[in-house]
């Protein structure tokens, strides 16, 4: 089913939704340009009709002007709409324009006693170039216009010739192209997501790396509302160099993975391998820091990983925590200030015997 209807059955659902959100953001401007092009085409039809002697106030021209007004109205109002509302408004606008186009073809056919192949084909192609709409959207749009064309072919005294046939061929070609684009765009998005995940993830432990952590935290700090806060815990494995010297680097890697998993099992929002034997644990909260942060060192000591080269006998961690609660837009912490404060607390823990958690409020 995924191969035939990618916009309906792509899995997992979170991936499909993430793709759509990203795609809508990227395609808003190209879609607006496509609508502007359709507006110019509609205006050119009006001017050509008047040049050939058609009455400005003819029913056909009234429908054409109405289509242009609807499209221009969407372009003006759409700039104020969020992505989900904009997308729904675009689809509704397209259906309204197609309905007006169908009525225009019907009025023109009754007036001139004929419907040529070009009109419906042009409208179908203009709908086809809207990049943000997937095949499911476009099939409904093309089907609506096909209903009008079918009704016209049944009208007595109206010559339609091969109009319906050519329209069906045009829609078939556009549908195959759109189906391929729907699949290829999703395949490309998935590949890009995997590459981005690799670039942001520590290969050994599977946690985020330092680069992605700093980018995400910096962005999040700018959006903190009053009363919202962040707890940043700087974690350092005690006597880890001695562990590597005693057991070897492969065992050291296994220990890093075990510790990363234990930290990841906490309610933390982000777990980051900061470098070497250092990790950063982030937790966002409202009003008060979560209680589990103050006992973070116990998550590793509870593993009971033997460390004969340590005076503590097992692998342990020392933790320094910096907590910040926003009081308003003018009250902002930075990644550097949080790291500096947490690192200072970590230094105090190491000076006081290790295997502890110590925190400070900024």
Residues 229-240 have pLDDT tens digits of: 888 888 888 888
Report the CATH number that the domain containing residue 350 is assigned in CATH.
Answer: 3.30.70.270
Domain check: are 116 and 229 in the same one?
no
Q: If you ran DSSP here, which 8-state letter would residue 356 be given?
A: -
Distance between CA atoms of residues 186 and 18, nearest Å: 11
Q: Any bridge partners for residue 319, and if so which?
A: 235, 357
Q: If you ran DSSP here, which 8-state letter would residue 53 be given?
A: T
Residue 309 lies in a domain: yes
Q: How many alpha carbons fall within 13 Å on the CB side of residue 72?
A: 11
Residue among 80, 70, 85 nearest 24 (CA) = 85
Residue 101 lies in a domain: yes
Domain check: are 161 and 219 in the same one?
no
Question: pLDDT at position 8, please?
Answer: 56
**Which residue, of 153, 178, 199, is where some domain finishes?**
199
Domain check: are 240 and 323 in the same one?
yes
Which residue range forms the structural domain that includes residue 135? 6-199
Domain check: are 124 and 273 in the same one?
no
Mean pLDDT of the chain: 85
Catalytic position from the list 277, 278, 298, 308 = 277
Residues 208-226: what's their mean pLDDT? 82
Residue among 262, 255, 266 nearest 204 (CA) = 255
pLDDT at 83 over 80: yes
Domain check: are 164 and 33 in the same one?
yes
Answer for the pair 136, 16: CB distance below 8 angstroms, yes or no.
no
Domain check: are 86 and 155 in the same one?
yes
CA distances (Å), 51 to each of 41, 60, 119, 213, in order?
A: 15, 14, 18, 63
- More confident call, 129 vs 202: 129
Distance between CA atoms of residues 206 and 271, nearest Å: 10
Residue 1 lies in a domain: no
| Residue-wise pLDDT tens digits, 38-82 | 999 888 888 877 787 777 677 888 888 899 999 999 999 998 988
pLDDT at 94 over 80: yes
pLDDT tier at 101, thresholds 50, 70, 90: very high
pLDDT tier at 2, thresholds 50, 70, 90: very low
| Residue-wise pLDDT tens digits, 322-357 | 888 887 666 677 888 888 888 898 888 888 888 888
pLDDT at 218 over 80: yes
Residue 205 lies in a domain: no
Q: Any bridge partners for residue 314, and if so which?
A: 306
**Cβ contacts of 100 within 8 Å, gap of 6 or more:** 63, 66, 67, 70
Domain check: are 231 and 137 in the same one?
no
User: Per the structure, how many domains does the chain have?
Assistant: 2
| Residue-wise pLDDT tens digits, 187-199 | 888 887 777 777 7
Question: pLDDT at position 76, please?
Answer: 93
Answer for the pair 85, 129: CB distance below 8 angstroms, yes or no.
no
CA-CA-CA-CA dihedral for 184, 39, 64, 98, to nearest 10: 20
Sign of the four-CA dihedral 236, 239, 242, 244: negative
Domain check: are 88 and 122 in the same one?
yes
Domain check: are 66 and 132 in the same one?
yes
pLDDT tier at 5, thresholds 50, 70, 90: low
Distance between CA atoms of residues 230 and 199, nearest Å: 25
Answer for the pair 140, 98: CB distance below 8 angstroms, yes or no.
no
pLDDT tier at 4, thresholds 50, 70, 90: very low
Domain check: are 135 and 229 in the same one?
no
Distance between CA atoms of residues 69 and 39, nearest Å: 9
285 dihedral zone (left: phi>0; alpha: psi -120 to 50; beta): beta
Question: pLDDT at position 1, please?
Answer: 40
CA-CA-CA-CA dihedral for 31, 65, 157, 154, to nearest 10: 40
Question: pLDDT at position 175, please?
Answer: 92
Question: pLDDT at position 57, please?
Answer: 74
Domain check: are 262 and 325 in the same one?
yes
Answer yes or no: 277 catalytic: yes
- More confident call, 254 vs 56: 254
Domain check: are 18 and 148 in the same one?
yes
């Amino acid at each position: 089913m995924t191969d035939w209807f990618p916009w309906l059955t792509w899995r997992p659902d979170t991936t499909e939704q993430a793709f759509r959100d990203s795609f809508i953001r990227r395609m808003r401007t190209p879609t607006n340009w496509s609508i502007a092009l359709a507006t110019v085409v509609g205006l050119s039809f009006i001017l050509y009709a008047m040049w050939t002697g058609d009455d400005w106030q003819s029913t056909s021209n009234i429908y054409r002007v109405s289509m242009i007004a609807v499209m221009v109205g969407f372009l003006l109002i759409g700039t104020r709409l969020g992505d989900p509302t904009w997308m729904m408004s675009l689809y509704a606008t397209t259906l309204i324009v197609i309905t007006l186009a169908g009525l225009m073809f019907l009025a023109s056919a009754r007036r001139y006693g004929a419907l040529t192949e070009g009109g419906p084909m042009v409208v179908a192609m203009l709908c086809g170039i809207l990049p943000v709409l997937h095949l499911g959207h476009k099939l409904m749009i093309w089907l609506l216009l096909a209903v009008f064309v079918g009704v016209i072919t049944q009208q007595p005294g109206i010559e339609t010739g091969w109009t319906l046939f050519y329209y069906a061929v045009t829609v078939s070609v556009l549908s195959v192209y759109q189906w391929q684009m729907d699949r290829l765009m999703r395949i490309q998005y998935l590949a890009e997501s995997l590459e981005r995940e690799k670039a942001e993830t520590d290969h050994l432990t599977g946690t985020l790396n330092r680069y992605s952590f700093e980018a995400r935290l910096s962005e999040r700090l700018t959006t903190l509302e009053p009363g919202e806060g962040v707890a940043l815990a700087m974690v350092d494995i005690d006597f880890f160099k001695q562990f590597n010297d005693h057991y070897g680097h492969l065992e050291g890697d296994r220990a890093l993975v075990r510790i990363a998993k234990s930290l990841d099992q906490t309610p933390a929002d982000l777990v980051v391998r900061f470098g070497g034997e250092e990790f950063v644990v982030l937790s966002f909260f409202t009003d008060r820091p979560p209680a589990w942060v103050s006992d973070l060192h116990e998550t590793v000591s509870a593993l009971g990983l033997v460390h004969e080269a340590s005076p503590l006998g097992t692998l342990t961690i020392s933790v320094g925590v910096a907590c910040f609660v926003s009081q308003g837009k003018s009250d902002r912490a930075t990644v550097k200030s949080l790291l500096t404060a947490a690192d200072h607390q970590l230094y105090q823990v190491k000076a006081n015997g290790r295997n502890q958690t110590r925190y400070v409020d900024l």
